[in-house]
Chains A and B, each alone.
Chain A
Amino acid sequence: MTQLALVIDLNVCVGCHACVTSCKQWNSSGAAGPMTDDMPYGKDPTGTFFNRVQTYEVGTFPFTETVHFPKSCLHCEDAPCVPVCPTGASHKREKDGIVLVDYDKCIGCGYCSWACPYGAREFDEHEKVMKKCTLCVDRIYDDALPESERRPACVIACPTSARLYGDIHDPNSIVSLAIRESGGYQLMPELGTQPANHYLPRHKTKQHIHEDELVRVDNPLKKEGPLPIDEEGPFLEDSTSW
């Protein structure tokens, strides 16, 4: 079975929110729309976003760092939001493993929101049904688009290519490779939901430099560093290295 998913590289995500805005733009204009915002400039803005970038401060001052953590529906292989839905509106596709909500069958009871341990459900306050990331299902199969654009909007928009997209069940896919070789991990694996989306951990690049490496061994023009003071006056080799 194919299981489409996103792999997000936390090492290169800079928290620019391009994925958030591109997701909002594509899905507002598409089948999942309109995803209206209320009081966007007010004190308590509300709105529907399928993808949000959470920004965490990790550690205790002064040893802190900022982590940007994009989060959307993780398209769990054993999705807890699916069995709880009373009408079966929330479902997982056999074909590609995408978890979707049938907006015509959703009664807006909100129980899936209770069941999702990742808080990925978004209640559309105007259509009054539950929504969530569709993995741009209305885009990835669109034959009218060039092959290179048949990817989720957030993946295309990411300026640092922090978002990878593919089939995690295909061992040769770019996402499987990334998970395998860069230590891709799932959120809360202990729950057994098997989230399809994975995260690549942040890692520090460390390089040890020895002191002698800071001094140039070859210094043909002797232009760097202070010149030795010559009491006896300049010699020819002081001005040229031949």
Chain B
Amino acid sequence: MAKKIALRSIQGNTAGYYLLMAVLGALIALGLGAAYYMEHNGHHVTGMTNQIVWGMPHVFAVFLIVAASGALNVASISSVFNKSLYKPLAPLSGLLAVALLVGGLTVLVLDLGRPDRLIVAMTYYNFKSIFAWNIFLYTGFLGIVAVYLWMMLEKRFNQHSSQVGFVAFVWRLILTTGTGSIFGFLVARQYYDAAIMAPLFILMSFAFGLAIFNIVLAVAFKGTQRPLGDVLVERLRKLLGIFVAAVLFFVAIFHLTNLYATEHHGVEHFILDGDNVYTGLFWVGFMLFGSIIPLVLCLTPSFSKSLGAVLTASVLVIAGGLSQMYIIIIGGQAYPLEIFPGKEVSSSFFDGVVNSYAPSFPEIALGVGGTAFALFIVAFAVKVLHFLPQSLANSEIDPHFSATEAEGENATNAASA
């Protein structure tokens, strides 16, 4: 039987911690400055136009929001699927989910034309709009996960954590369905209007969220010199591999379905075989670095129990995920509207031509600032509250860990030393 592992806050008084906070703080300040600059001057100082209305900030925002629901995976595995190995990690998982969602929403709101009118968005609802539903889904997620964290961290309420965890799990599935449906419900554009967008986004959330979780976990544990056993590392490695494979499957089905329908050949040619940045991002960014290399790292036995392999795969999955978001959001808008179906069209004012977009520095700064904000929240919270397990050594977490294995492990360690 696995032992009950204590959760302890970090000391947070090392130079490394202060440096991390300083860097994150600087990036947040840069992001806020960028938001002010764009708000003050208008979108014409960015790469966004009437044709590309969502630019780089939305790539980061949607990525963070999708990753947020995925970051809750580890908690769900422990509460809903009752895997005791993941139990000590559940609070960190919940915290990361909340932080990533707050970071993503910050970017999203600051990139609105009128962020000052957030109160309007909160008081006037058009319930036919998937966007309006998402406002409820996001705020609901924050509330439910907050309660979930409370149930997990307050000993008296621990018994309720699995029920709340189940609600959070269902809610996160609905949330990502909502995010995917922002694109799935779009009839006007060739690249969207596909029901598969919702499950694709759910799978992407699994992969992106776990990738970020792995990195945060490793940095936190290595930074505080807490033991991180290879039993957990191996589980996280395989889990990431399965999620990456699942994303690949859904992406393949999405493109194959499109390729089957003649009306979508144009946009598929544009994304998969075009003379543009999106084709490069798809094959090199998403397929090679974001999927195939992580799959090799995560599923081949030669990298078994290797934390380095998990972290490399996680970084690549994040890079591939951002590439995929860029293709979905920017690529889909860059492809011209089909106002005259079946005709080759180009006109004097943007119609029928591939819309160009180059992300400007303020847009990237805002996106990075939002990411830094999410990480800042995590770094601050683990210092002031007991989120991090004291140890994740094999002997602490593995219910099947035996004394003989421990001896064997010690012997191996001694031999390698």
> Are A109 and B128 in contact, with the CB atoms below 8 A?
no
Task: Judge if B224 is at the interface, Cβ distance under 8 Å.
Answer: no
Task: Judge if B159 is at the interface, Cβ distance under 8 Å.
Answer: no
Q: How many residues of A contact B (CB 8 A)?
A: 45
Task: Judge if B155 is at the interface, Cβ distance under 8 Å.
Answer: no
CB < 8 Å: which of B42, B114, B129, B339 contacts A125?
B42
> In B261-295, which residues have CB < 8 Å from any A CB?
none
Q: How far is the CB of A189 from chain B (nearest CB, A)?
A: 11
> Are B339 and A187 in contact, with the CB atoms below 8 A?
yes
CB < 8 Å: which of A38, A54, A114 contacts B349?
A54
Task: Judge if A39 is at the interface, Cβ distance under 8 Å.
Answer: yes
Q: How many residues of B contact A (CB 8 A)?
A: 45
- Chain B residue numbers with a CB within 8 Å of A54 are 347-349, 351
> In A16-43, which residues have CB < 8 Å from any B CB?
38-39
> Are B188 and A87 in contact, with the CB atoms below 8 A?
no
Task: Judge if A111 is at the interface, Cβ distance under 8 Å.
Answer: yes
> Are B114 and A117 in contact, with the CB atoms below 8 A?
no
The interface bits of chain B over 344-367 (1 if a CB of A lies within 8 angstroms of the residue's CB, else 0) are 011111111000000000000000
> In A34-64, which residues have CB < 8 Å from any B CB?
38-39, 46, 52-56
Task: Judge if A75 is at the interface, Cβ distance under 8 Å.
Answer: no
CA distance A87 to B50 in the complex (A): 20
The verdict on A107 contacting B117 (CB below 8 Å), with A114-B189, A116-B188 known, is yes
- Chain A residue numbers with a CB within 8 Å of B348 are 53-55
- Chain A residue numbers with a CB within 8 Å of B341 are 188, 190
Task: Judge if A108 is at the interface, Cβ distance under 8 Å.
Answer: yes
Task: Judge if B390 is at the interface, Cβ distance under 8 Å.
Answer: no
Task: Judge if B378 is at the interface, Cβ distance under 8 Å.
Answer: no
User: Which residue in chain A gives the minimum CB-CB distance to B51?
Assistant: A119
> In B148-185, which residues have CB < 8 Å from any A CB?
182, 185
- Chain A residue numbers with a CB within 8 Å of B126 are 83, 85-88
The verdict on A109 contacting B112 (CB below 8 Å), with A86-B125, A115-B188 known, is yes
The interface bits of chain B over 111-150 (1 if a CB of A lies within 8 angstroms of the residue's CB, else 0) are 0111101101100111011111001000000000000000
> Are B128 and A117 in contact, with the CB atoms below 8 A?
no
- Chain A residue numbers with a CB within 8 Å of B375 are none
> Are B188 and A117 in contact, with the CB atoms below 8 A?
yes
User: Which residue in chain A gives the minimum CB-CB distance to B192?
Assistant: A114
CA distance A117 to B341 in the complex (A): 12
Q: How far is the CB of B346 from chain A (nearest CB, A)?
A: 7
- Chain B residue numbers with a CB within 8 Å of A111 are 129, 131, 182
Task: Judge if A202 is at the interface, Cβ distance under 8 Å.
Answer: no
> Are B337 and A84 in contact, with the CB atoms below 8 A?
no
Task: Judge if A105 is at the interface, Cβ distance under 8 Å.
Answer: yes
Task: Judge if B400 is at the interface, Cβ distance under 8 Å.
Answer: no
CA distance A122 to B186 in the complex (A): 18
**Which of A126-134, A175-183, A230-238 binds B?**
A126-134
The verdict on A128 contacting B189 (CB below 8 Å), with A84-B131, A87-B124, A117-B337 known, is no
- Chain A residue numbers with a CB within 8 Å of B49 are 46
Q: How far is the CB of B272 from chain A (nearest CB, A)?
A: 22
CA distance A84 to B133 in the complex (A): 10
> In A112-150, which residues have CB < 8 Å from any B CB?
113-119, 121-123, 125-126, 128-130
The interface bits of chain B over 245-270 (1 if a CB of A lies within 8 angstroms of the residue's CB, else 0) are 00000000000000000000000000
> Are A114 and B129 in contact, with the CB atoms below 8 A?
no
Task: Judge if B43 is at the interface, Cβ distance under 8 Å.
Answer: yes
User: Which residue in chain B gives the minimum CB-CB distance to A84?
Assistant: B129
Task: Judge if B3 is at the interface, Cβ distance under 8 Å.
Answer: no
> Are A119 and B187 in contact, with the CB atoms below 8 A?
no
Task: Judge if B333 is at the interface, Cβ distance under 8 Å.
Answer: yes
> Are B347 and A69 in contact, with the CB atoms below 8 A?
yes
User: Which residue in chain A gives the minimum CB-CB distance to B130?
Assistant: A84
Q: Which of B125, B126, B182, B189 has the most CB of A within 10 A?
A: B126
Task: Judge if A14 is at the interface, Cβ distance under 8 Å.
Answer: no
The verdict on A52 contacting B349 (CB below 8 Å), with A85-B126, A121-B50, A128-B42 known, is yes
CA distance A121 to B113 in the complex (A): 14
CA distance A118 to B349 in the complex (A): 13
**Shortest beta-carbon contacts, A-B, top 3:** A108-B113, A128-B113, A125-B42
B residues apposed to A, CB below 8 Å: 39, 42-44, 49-51, 53-54, 112-115, 117-118, 120-121, 124-126, 128-132, 135, 182, 185-189, 333, 337-339, 341, 345-352
Sampled A-B contacts (24; CB under 8 Å):
A53-B349, A56-B345, A56-B352, A84-B128, A84-B131, A86-B126, A87-B124, A105-B117, A107-B120, A107-B121, A110-B54, A111-B182, A114-B54, A115-B187, A117-B189, A119-B50, A119-B339, A119-B350, A121-B53, A123-B43, A128-B113, A129-B113, A187-B339, A191-B188
Q: A38-B42, A86-B129 are in contact. List 11 more A-B contacts (CB 8 A).
A: A53-B349, A83-B126, A114-B186, A115-B186, A125-B43, A125-B44, A128-B42, A128-B43, A130-B113, A188-B339, A190-B341
